[in-house]
Amino acid sequence: MEFGIVGLGRMGANLALAAVEKGIRVVGFDPATKEELRKEGVELSTDINELAKLLHPPRIVFLYVPAGPIVDRVLAELVDVLDKGDVIVDGGNSHFRDSQVRQRRLSGHGIGYVDCGTSGGLEGARWGACFMVGGETSPVKIVEPILKTLAVPEGYIHVDQPGAGHFAKLVHNGIEFGMLQAIGEGFALLAKSEYEIDIGALFHTWAHGSVIRGWLVELMERGLAKKKSVADVSSYVEDTGEVNWLIEEALRMEVAIPVISLSVMALFRSRDVDNDAAKAVAIMRHEFGGHPFGRDEAVARERKSGKVGLVE
């Protein structure tokens, strides 16, 4: 098995390393130099044209680039160098409506398009991810063996037609926001209580057998062990804005999602006031995704440009 990958940032690089360790040949391209990946067995190309030449048909090319116009720029370059029967897998957090349009456009060139929601954070990309894909059966079947190899056991699903993978990931991210906020508010209550509670030890206990046990609880414990105190953690929580799209879609469908909606409002509030719940959310987000502490201009730009709003 082999595939190309455009975008060797934190997610793309970790996925490439995981693939190489599992015996999958990987040819990568990124405008930034990634020589450390070459030492680990990832073949590096100088541009997208060379990347295509180094792969055997039917070529499979993964995209791990930020949602928005950059996706369309890369797709335009790939259309010029790929052939009918090749498949592009968009592993980023693109808007599912944009993914539907992209699939139809690429179909006109005979190139398959699979929208692939990827979950599990940086650790998942490195050691076993969770994939939810959308797309027509034929291109999905071509990439399925690779995705199943890179996924944790039972961590792969073909959700439905084009756009469904990114829609499922969008709902996933909304659920994630609600869970993060609930854990953060619990932390704030513990921090302000009259008791001298070892909060890290309590989260450790909760991670073992409690009803709320899970990875986010474990990440809260791990983050607290690193930080010792949240006093120096900024309560300004950055995000790339995908869950805003989910609220828009819920309004369109007239589906009530009060918890998810309020979690986004709480995130906005974190940017105006200093509060422990927001600091807890920031700690967990940093642990699973390497998200920044405090304000980050690059992330803010991505949030404002992530949805393309493509039309045909």
Q: Any idea which residues carry the catalytic annotation? A: 169, 176
What is the distance between the alpha carbons of residues 86 and 61, in angstroms, rounded to a whole number? Answer: 8
Geometric angle at alpha carbon 271, from 64 and 299, rounded to 5°? 20
- 292 token code pair: 């920044």
DSSP 160-222: ESTTHHHHHHHHHHHHHHHHHHHHHHHHHHHHHSSS---HHHHHHHHTTT-TT-SHHHHHHHH
SS3 for 12-26 is HHHHHHHHHHCCCEE
Ramachandran region of residue 125, left (φ > 0), alpha (ψ -120 to 50) or beta? alpha
Edge-to-edge, what's the strand order for the sheet holding 87-90? 43-44, 25-29, 2-6, 60-63, 87-90, 112-119, 129-134, 151-160
Q: Which residue has the tokens 């039309």?
A: 311
Contact 155, 128 (CB under 8 A): yes
**Helix locations, 239-275, DSSP H:** 242-253, 258-270
Q: Which residue has the tokens 């039972």?
A: 154
Contact 94, 166 (CB under 8 A): yes
Contact 288, 122 (CB under 8 A): yes
* Beta-ladder partners of 90: 63, 115
